[in-house]
């Protein structure tokens, strides 16, 4: 739903790097180069970004339950 603030394994802050990661991918960079530019060297942090599914826009379409 919403990107986690910190990596679950090592505790490194990753939330601020999600949008720049997507922008680098749109520019045509590989994921490996994007991670290197963003300073995400650990595999645990990389999997937090790659494994994230952004569902918040889909969930906002439904009415809120009382």
- What is the CATH architecture of 1-66? Orthogonal Bundle (1.10)
Q: For residue 49, give Cα distances in angstroms to 31, 34, 43, 65.
A: 10, 11, 10, 30
Q: What is the mean pLDDT of residues 43-65?
A: 87
Residues 24-47 pLDDT 10s: 999 999 999 999 999 999 999 999
Enumerate the domain spans of the chain. 1-66
Give the pLDDT confidence score for residue 1 in this predicted structure.
Answer: 58
Give the pLDDT confidence score for residue 6 in this predicted structure.
Answer: 95
Q: How confident is the model at residue 52 (pLDDT cuts 50, 70, 90)?
A: confident
| Whole-prediction pTM | 0.80
């Amino acid at each position: 739903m919403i990107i986690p603030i910190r990596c679950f394994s090592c505790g490194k802050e990753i939330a601020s790097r999600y949008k720049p990661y997507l922008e680098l991918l749109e520019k045509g960079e590989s994921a490996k180069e994007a991670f290197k530019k963003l300073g995400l060297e650990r595999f645990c942090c990389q999997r937090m970004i790659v494994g994230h599914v952004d569902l918040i826009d889909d969930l906002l379409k439904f009415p809120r339950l009382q």
